[in-house]
């Protein structure tokens, strides 16, 4: 796994920001702190988490709880109806679009990334590909399409009333991606 270059990270960040998302980069050790910091600043009191080994290594749950944020790790479908935050890891990123790509069929991950008001997606830097076409090349070459693949680019939005672009409709109102440097 190659560490993400500064150039590629900046490209990802710039493009995500251009669609009202935010982006931070961190080491694995500081992952928990980074996630907790975002929610703390946004005043998010509670969050659902679909934990992965990367999050475990990065101490995400601990850091959130230390920051006074209530964490839910099960009954996600039920809890997501009332809990404000959502955290999950995604499989790929596309720098050219600021896009995060979910490429596996884990319903809880889809729920937290869709139902939360503030969603944080975690990406390993090494999984960020430069271009949209690179991502399609990867998908096309997979031995089998996962049951679910989803591109997520920034928070939800609409322009359906008077063509005025408004952020946050049925999906998240805010969205951040935390890019974790691989070692």
Partner 1 sequence: MSSEALKQEIRAALDNTTLARTLGTFCKTYPAKREKAYEGVDFEATRNKISEVKRYAADHVDEMIAEFTKNCEARGGHVIVAKSKDEAMEKIRALVKEKNVKTIVKSKSMASEELHFNKVLTEDGVLVQETDLGEFIIALEGNTPVHMVMPALHLNKEEVADLFTDYTKVKNAPIIAEEVKTARKVMREKFCTADMGVSGANVAVAETGTVFTMSNEGNGRMVGALPKIHLYIFGIEKFVKSISDARWIFKALPRNGTGQRIASYVSMYTGATEVVTDKENDTKQKKEFYAVILDEPGRRSILEEPEFRQVFECIRCGACLDVCPAFALVGGHVYGSKVYTGGIGIMLTHFLIDEGRASEIQSLCLQCGRCKEVCGGGLKITDMIRKIREKNAKEHPNAIHKFALDAVSDRKLFHSMLRIASVAQAPFTKGQPMIRHLPMFLSGLTEGRSFPNIAQVPLRDIFPTIEQDVPNPKGKIALFAGCLLDFVYTDLARDVVVDLNSIGYLVEMPLGQACCGCPASTMGDVDNARKEAEINIEGMEAEKYDYIVSACPSCTHQLRDYPTFFEEGTEMHKRATELADKTFDFCKLFYDLGGCEESGDGKAVKVTYHDSCHLCRSLRVTQEQRELLKNTKGVEFVEMEEHDNCCGFGGTYSVLYPDIATPILEKKIANIQATGADVVAVDCPGCMMQIRGGLDARGLDIKVKHTAEIIAEKRGLV
Nearer to partner 1, 20 or 62 (CB): 20
Burial 37-49 (b: 16+ CB within 10 A, else e): bbbeeeebebbbb
Nearer to partner 1, 47 or 153 (CB): 153
Shortest distance, position 182 Cβ to partner 1, whole Å: 25
Nearer to partner 1, 10 or 182 (CB): 10
List the structure tokens of 128: 């960020």
Shortest distance, position 57 Cβ to partner 1, whole Å: 25
Contact criterion met (CB below 8 Å) for 152 and 99: yes
Give the count of beta carbons closer than 10 Å to the beta carbon of residue 135: 22
Shortest distance, position 167 Cβ to partner 1, whole Å: 9
The Cα angle at residue 116 between residues 79 and 81, in degrees rounded to 5: 30
The answer for residues whose C-beta is within 8 angstroms of residue 7's C-beta and 6 or more apart is none
Q: What are phi and psi of 66, to 5 degrees?
A: -60, -35
Shortest distance, position 29 Cβ to partner 1, whole Å: 31
Give contact residues for partner 1 (rule: CB under 8 A): 15, 19, 74-78, 81, 97, 99, 105-108, 110-111, 114-115, 132-133, 136-137, 139-140, 145-164, 166, 168-172
Nearer to partner 1, 3 or 75 (CB): 75
């Amino acid at each position: 796994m190659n560490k993400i270059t500064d150039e590629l990270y900046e490209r990802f960040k710039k493009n995500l920001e251009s669609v009202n998302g935010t982006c931070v980069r961190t080491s694995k050790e500081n992952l928990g702190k980074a996630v907790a910091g975002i929610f703390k600043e946004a005043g998010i009191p509670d969050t659902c988490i679909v934990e992965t080994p990367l999050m475990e290594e990065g101490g995400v749950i601990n850091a959130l709880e230390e920051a006074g944020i209530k964490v839910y790790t099960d009954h996600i479908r039920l809890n997501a109806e009332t809990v404000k935050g959502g955290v999950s890891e995604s499989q790929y990123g596309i720098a050219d679009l600021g896009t995060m790509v979910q490429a596996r069929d884990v319903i809880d991950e889809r729920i937290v990334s869709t139902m939360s008001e503030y969603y944080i997606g975690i990406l390993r830097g090494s999984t960020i590909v430069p271009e949209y076409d690179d991502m399609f090349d990867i998908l096309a070459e997979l031995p089998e399409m996962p049951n679910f693949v989803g591109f997520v680019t920034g928070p939800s939005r609409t322009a359906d009333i008077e063509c005025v672009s408004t952020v946050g409709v049925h999906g998240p109102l805010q969205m951040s991606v935390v890019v974790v440097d691989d070692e």
